[in-house]
A = this chain, B = another copy of it.
Amino acid sequence: MSGFSFCVRATDGRARTGIIETPRGAVRTPAFMPVGTAGTVKGMLPGSVAETGAEILLGNTYHLMLRPGAERVARLGGLHRFMNWDRPILTDSGGFQVMSLAGLRNLDEEGVTFKSHIDGSVHVLTPERSMEIQRLLGSDIVMCFDECPALPADEEEVARAMRLSMRWAARSRAAFGDRPGHALFGIQQGGLSRELRAESAEALREIGFDGYAIGGLAVGEGQAAMMGVLDHAPVMLPADRPRYLMGVGKPDDIVGAVRRGVYMMDCVLPTRSGRTGQAFTRRGAINLRNARHQEDPRPLDENCTCPACRSYCRAYLHHAVRSREIIGAMLLTWHNLHYYQALMAGMRTAISDGRFAQWEADFHAARAEGDIAPR
């Protein structure tokens, strides 16, 4: 087994395409990671996820530690085997979801004590325990344990959380140790403040990580504020290591982030939307629940090669969504993941060819046209 490595293959402005090599396979960047929260990308078989072009999944430490439990997953051979996905997996640290999902929490220098949202049982997460859980799961890319405050928050609170996260990053680094073939990523915090982002980036670079994430965004600040941060935050982090923007986002968020120097992203949007009747297309997002689709014999997108577009008309998808049939969630999730992966592939090619600006202009022009007219 070789180790973990990353190299940039082409640069176009701040946008870069490259490749992450891991013992479980390569990940071409810019990369979008579908979210496999609790050991499954909801509504998809792993083989289908791979067919969409996904080369890496994200797993959630918070969900998996509560159910089925990290020790149990380890006894069953690790998360890859458990969920039948043999390509790379990145796991988050649990920090973000403890703050957003768990009941009653108590946070101190040591870590976080919280109650499970499933059964109310009490659990503790510290940097050391988060590293242990991610090791037990068999994660290929491990994330530092951090505290991520919801925005808006006052700068003092954002600074306190960032500095705590930096001390936790040092503890995460120490606890992670030396694991050939596995990577540990630090997470930049600092909210919307350029100074705090710079301080955080400096702290992380001093500790030294295999990759660097931008955390604390897509937490309620809005797209304009997020892009404002992305105008300066990514370039504070090493360009020759993966740069990962956590929890983002909508298609235009992703394109804007790639233009600003981000290489990796994850988001529940394509999968969650697929379960609520929303489909992403070149011409924007459409809601299949809408009666305008009820007798439309055309596919979602005549240029798309996913199973939903190859074999079904909009009227069928409308019917399946309205009837709450599982196949509606299955087909729309597949389509949305296919759309996201095609988006990333398009950007990788455009960057390689040095025509990212033109690609981006075409992307926005197609969306501006709006959905194909009802029949």
Residues of chain A having any CB pair with chain B under 8 Å: 38-40, 42-46, 67-68, 72, 75-77, 82-84, 294-295, 297, 307, 311-313, 315-316, 319-320, 322-323, 325-327, 329-331
Question: Is B311 within 8 A of A84, CB to CB?
Answer: yes
Question: Is A327 within 8 A of B40, CB to CB?
Answer: yes
Also in contact, A315 and B45, with CB within 8 A (given A40-B325, A295-B75, A325-B40): no
Question: Is B82 within 8 A of A307, CB to CB?
Answer: no
Question: Is B76 within 8 A of A297, CB to CB?
Answer: yes
Also in contact, A42 and B327, with CB within 8 A (given A76-B313, A295-B76, A297-B77): yes
Question: Is B327 within 8 A of A43, CB to CB?
Answer: yes
- Which residues of the other chain, B, contact A295 by a CB distance below 8 angstroms? 72, 75-76
Also in contact, A315 and B84, with CB within 8 A (given A68-B294, A330-B326): no
So how many copies of this chain end up in the complex?
2
Also in contact, A315 and B68, with CB within 8 A (given A295-B76, A326-B330): yes
* Top 7 A-B pairs, shortest CB-CB distance: A84-B311, A40-B327, A43-B326, A68-B319, A40-B325, A38-B323, A76-B315
Question: Is B67 within 8 A of A323, CB to CB?
Answer: yes
- Which residues of the other chain, B, contact A323 by a CB distance below 8 angstroms? 38-39, 67
Residue of B nearest to A42 (CB): B326
Residue of B nearest to A316 (CB): B82
Question: Is B44 within 8 A of A327, CB to CB?
Answer: yes
| 17 sample A-B contacts, Cβ–Cβ < 8 Å, listed by A number | A38-B319, A39-B320, A39-B325, A40-B326, A43-B327, A45-B327, A45-B331, A46-B311, A68-B319, A72-B295, A72-B315, A75-B295, A76-B315, A77-B297, A82-B316, A84-B311, A330-B330
Q: In the docked arrangement, what's the CA distance between A40 and B327, Å?
A: 7
- Which residues of the other chain, B, contact A329 by a CB distance below 8 angstroms? 326
Besides the known contacts A38-B319, A67-B322, 12 further A-B residue pairs in the complex with CB atoms under 8 A apart = A39-B325, A40-B320, A42-B326, A43-B330, A45-B327, A72-B294, A76-B295, A76-B315, A77-B297, A82-B315, A326-B326, A326-B330
Question: Is A313 within 8 A of B82, CB to CB?
Answer: yes
Q: In the docked arrangement, what's the CA distance between A234 and B122, Å?
A: 61
- Which residues of the other chain, B, contact A84 by a CB distance below 8 angstroms? 311-312, 316
